[in-house]
Amino acid sequence: MNCTPAPCTALLEGAVANRAYGTYGTTDNESLIRELSLSRGCDPALMEWVLASKEVAAGDALEAVGEDLDGKIPKFLGPR
């Protein structure tokens, strides 16, 4: 954390990544991210909001777009 110019931003990004991918890993880093955030003086309310947010599982997200997935992918990734 000493080498990054914006440690709080990096920790928030880490918290978001942990919410998205933590269940797939062998270690949940939420407590470490929380401790580092507090030690760096980051906004505790913002970190708590990020850590408390519900992550949508990939399968649920794909199911939500369902039949329209074929129409949405070219819209965002296709030629403009």
Residue 51 lies in a domain: yes
Residue 25 token pair: 């890993």
Structural domain range at position 13:
7-77
Q: How do residues 44-72 score in pLDDT, each as one tens digit?
A: 999 988 888 777 676 777 777 666 666 66
78 burial class (0-12, 13-18, 19+ CB within 10 angstroms)?
A: exposed
**1 assigned to some structural domain:** no
The answer to the question of residue 11 being in a domain is yes
In degrees and rounded to multiples of 5, residue 23 shows phi and psi of -70, -20
pTM of structure = 0.62
Enter the DSSP assignment of 19.
Answer: H
Residue 59 lies in a domain: yes
Number of domains in the chain: 1
Please indicate, yes or no, if residue 2 is contained in any of the structural domains. no
